[in-house]
Structure 1
């Protein structure tokens, strides 16, 4: 058996922890960041498999999901920001989706200098199939307790909000980045309030991609 160095707690060294002990990052923070990176890899792998099984590229897959979610508001510039790629890359991928008759384009009724994209009936059918890309992950989460899932959701969305405030994430339509989100305090099961809808809610109801989201005017902290 290979001998490994032990840490202060008697467990083996973790490869996710940076060897430079002078870095001002806690060991647990580094391991959690490593775990999130690993989950990101798992998600990308599942998305890749689903996309290729349906004959589209991963970018086309993501674009179809986003065009559908944006419901008649999908512009090339917005999609490029959403996916953190160039407008030229988005235009090329959308052109391919149009040739496959999965999306259609039309003049923007608000500003006819722009073009908006929508999903066709064939695109809707494909969207339904593509939406199950995270099935294995959802099955695994089904056995996790609701309280644990709610806490994890709050922590992850808090990280997303912080990264958004720091300019690392361009778009984040979460409750924690929304001008209507109020966490000034409330009842224990529902400490938050959506001031737009006048609804109190808790961690389990936090939205990841809210259709009513409006970015807050100034940066603030996450959860």
Structure 2
């Protein structure tokens, strides 16, 4: 029909490009044939990372703060002792100047309080004000769309995914790619050798309890880095 757009897809004389398994090629890989599955897994994780960054930024914008300020508020609400600027910069992988600027803005908004570090009078520590804690509670829901999707998974599947992801995080910290990871697998008290084949293959030597994949901690307040030789 005259005027209609041509929606035919040109797949070439030999049909669409396929991999050795007969499936269409995945543009997330470089098609070199090396570590194709690894590349696709990395690509899938990158997509999840993009989604989480987008959700975090949207929630921050809706509450009138930046994405970094949101992360700082969440961090201040999850630690027992007030952190210093240097601690926060290390965890978020940004400069101390960037954290200082963000903290100054949060203080002007009445969301964060600054006090002298009782352990080192040369430094300051930060904590949430009551208004900041209320905002942190609202901001903590930034991941709701993703959490809603996870509800459909079984506990066993969620535990397995958690174990795999935290294992990757631990490896990246060991390699120096990330600075801070307060997970079970990076903690001096974590023991995965006592009952490796049992239903609770791990043990926390601090609390003296056994636990399973579903109980692995992502950000434990009792975390302590392994002792160095």
Q: Tell whether the structures are fold-level matches, with TM greater than 0.5.
A: yes
For 1:101, the equivalent position in structure 2 comes to 110
**In 2: Cα distance, 1:52 partner to 1:104 partner:** 22
**In 2: Cα distance, 1:211 partner to 1:48 partner:** 26
1:111 to 111, 120, 126: 120
TM-score scaled by length of structure 2: 0.91
Q: Which runs of 5+ in 2 are unaligned?
A: 1-8
**In 2: Cα distance, 1:157 partner to 1:50 partner:** 25
1:170 aligns with 2:179: yes
**In 2: Cα distance, 1:57 partner to 1:166 partner:** 30
**In 2: Cα distance, 1:67 partner to 1:32 partner:** 32
For 1:189, the equivalent position in structure 2 comes to 199
TM-score scaled by length of structure 1: 0.94
CA contact (8 A) 1:71 1:118 kept: no
1:136 aligns with 2:145: yes
For 1:18, the equivalent position in structure 2 comes to 30
Greater Rg by CA: 2
For 1:124, the equivalent position in structure 2 comes to 133
The number of equivalent residue pairs is: 216
1:147-158 aligned at under 5 Å gives the runs: 147-158=156-167
**CA displacement, residues 2-37 of structure 1 (integer Å, 9 cap, x when unaligned):** 42311111111111112344xxx5211110010000
Which is worse superposed, 179-188 or 143-152? 179-188
Residue 217 (structure 1) shift: 2.5
Which structure shows the higher helix fraction? 1
